[in-house]
Structure 1
Amino acid sequence: MALSRTAYVNLLRAQAGYHEGRDPSGNWNNQQKFSPAVPGLEWSQGQAWCHVFVSWGADELDARDVIPITASCATGVSWWKKRGRWTDYPVLGAPFYMGSAGQDHVGVVYKYDADSIWTIEGNTNNNGSYQGDGVYHRVRPRRGAGSPYGYGVPDFTEETVSADPNLGGTKAATVPTATPGDEVNSTPPTQEKPMTPAEIQAVADAVWNYQLPNLRTDGTQDGTKKSAYWWLIWQDVFQAQLLAAINEAALTPDDVRQALADGTLKVQLTVKAA
């Protein structure tokens, strides 16, 4: 069955903020809604579920032949390679695989540029753990430490968009956000304008006194708080990404611009961080 890149990515992104269950002691337990919903993967309930999430999206859209239906990242990598649909370069809308052989973790790319990939991932957390607690938007480096092992190349209904020179060599691209009534197959990938220094300063001014929970390295709160401005100046490379990470708000630069223009940035952060 045919699979639209835009439909697939936006279905997965719509799950951001979903969390797995907890055991009687309050610990995350890998019990989630995706395993029981995918025929053949019901057995994976209670196990690591990052690839189940990726497979669930394809199954929901009746495209089990376009994305590997498996709970195993290693099996997923093998599936792509056997079909000759594998690359070392980002592919828009495609699964990316982490680990020395791609065995550790998987998510889906919804945006990339020369340095980074923007992703939607299951079984991760704000710190990018391979054993997390829910569905999150993340930003990961394209190269070096913490970068993917490689990428599958799905046969979407839209033309393949990839940084791979053999697949068009598109330097940067974004999957558009679908709205009700849109023909999701018809909108081409768009590129997002970076934030200007003045806009970055406006964000800092808007959230100067907004207090956010301080997180330990394992993602748990340590009981203290720091202002959002402290977070902004601590990591000033991807300002909108940082806001997304600390608030689970997934705000893009365009979202921030609109919120600043509307005067609603504080309100958005307060609601989404609550």
Structure 2
Amino acid sequence: MKLGAGYSWCAAFVSWCYQNIGVEAPKSAWVPSYALKSKRIYQRGKFQHRRPQMGDVFILWSRKLKRPAHIGFVDQWGDKFIITVEGNTNEDGSREGDGVYRKRRLKKQIWAVSDFISSSKPQ
């Protein structure tokens, strides 16, 4: 996937990473394509299947856009904070950033977490 200048690329970063390790996930630069109910393990403060772990994707909701609008990887899941790795962000946590950063986010900021890795493993 190649994007021209001016595109948000947080979801493209997730897609590129998953493609390079053979995980079946959307090949998309569109964050809502990762918000599949069938893949969600956590939503708005409630675990649905299991506790999020490294490699799952977190999704942030934008009230302004009224849709999922930023995505990245869970690195560590804590009681109050999560450590993330995310593209198209910056030191301030913007979804219009300048690179890939390891961030510390309040868990209450997280709208949902999806698991694409477990379903990609051979049975």
**Which TM-score band applies after superposition, normalised by the shorter structure?**
0.7 to 0.9
* Aligned residue runs from structure 1 range 185-200, under 5 A: none
8 Å contact kept, 1:50–1:121: yes
Q: Distance in 1 between matches of 2:9 and 2:117?
A: 23
Q: Does 1:45 align with 2:4?
A: yes
Match of 1:98 in 2: 60
Match of 1:135 in 2: 100
Q: Does 1:151 align with 2:110?
A: no
Which is richer in helix? 1
Q: Distance in 2 between matches of 1:119 and 1:96?
A: 8
Q: Which has the higher contact order (CA 8 A, sep 6+)?
A: 2
C-alpha spacing 1:102/1:110, structure 2 compared with 1 (3 Å): farther
Match of 2:39 in 1: 85
State the Cα distance separating 1:148 from its structure 2 match.
1.3
Larger Rg: 1
Q: 1:70 aligns with which of 22, 28, 36?
A: 28
8 Å contact kept, 1:72–1:103: no
State the Cα distance separating 1:139 from its structure 2 match.
0.5
8 Å contact kept, 2:15–2:26: yes
Q: Does 1:56 align with 2:56?
A: no
Structure 1 residues 235-256: Cα deviation after superposition (integer angstroms, max 9, x where no partner): xxxxxxxxxxxxxxxxxxxxxx
* Aligned residue runs from structure 1 range 247-258, under 5 A: none
Aligned-pair identity (%): 28
Q: Any gaps of 5 or more consecutive residues in structure 2?
A: none
Q: Distance in 1 between matches of 2:14 and 2:98?
A: 15
Q: Distance in 2 between matches of 1:114 and 1:96?
A: 15
C-alpha spacing 1:102/1:151, structure 2 compared with 1 (3 Å): farther
Q: 2:82 aligns with which of 107, 117, 142?
A: 117
* Matching residue's letter, 2:107: R
Which is richer in strand? 2
8 Å contact kept, 2:59–2:71: yes
TM-score (norm 2): 0.78
Q: Over aligned residue pairs, what C-alpha RMSD do you find?
A: 1.6
8 Å contact kept, 1:102–1:149: no
Structure 1 residues 75-101: Cα deviation after superposition (integer angstroms, max 9, x where no partner): 221xx22xx121224511211111146
* Matching residue's letter, 1:112: W
State the Cα distance separating 1:68 from its structure 2 match.
2.1
TM-score (norm 1): 0.37
Task: Describe the SS at the equivalent of 1:57.
Answer: helix
8 Å contact kept, 1:102–1:150: no
State the Cα distance separating 1:125 from its structure 2 match.
0.4
